[in-house]
Amino acid sequence: MKLTFSFHRQAQAEATAAFHEAAEGFQKKFTDLLRLIQQYPEAFPEYGDGFRKAVMPRKKYPYTIFYRLTAKRIRIVAVAHQKRKPGYWKHRR
């Protein structure tokens, strides 16, 4: 069974901003990474307190997707620029 995605409202805003600010091709790479997360949600490393992280595949796109798994969904809690303060999103659920 494929898990569905849900986005924390701030993660949705971060993704939208990244689509506008990031280099050309970001949207495709982002979508490709979401597909990988959906296919293999436990393949990405744990990042403390139940979070997992998926790093964008190229230096051109310095973003990391942080998410949590539940029985029915993948909850995206942050689409974080890698130069932003680490862990700023950890209070999100």
Could you list the beta-strand ranges (E) of 30-83.
Answer: 51-55, 63-69, 73-81
pTM: 0.90
Residues 6+ apart with CB under 8 A from 37: 44, 54, 65, 67, 74
Domains and CATH numbers, the chain: 4-81 (3.30.2310.20)
pLDDT, tens digit (0-9, with 9 covering 90-100), for 16-67: 999 888 778 888 999 999 999 999 999 999 998 899 999 987 678 889 999 9
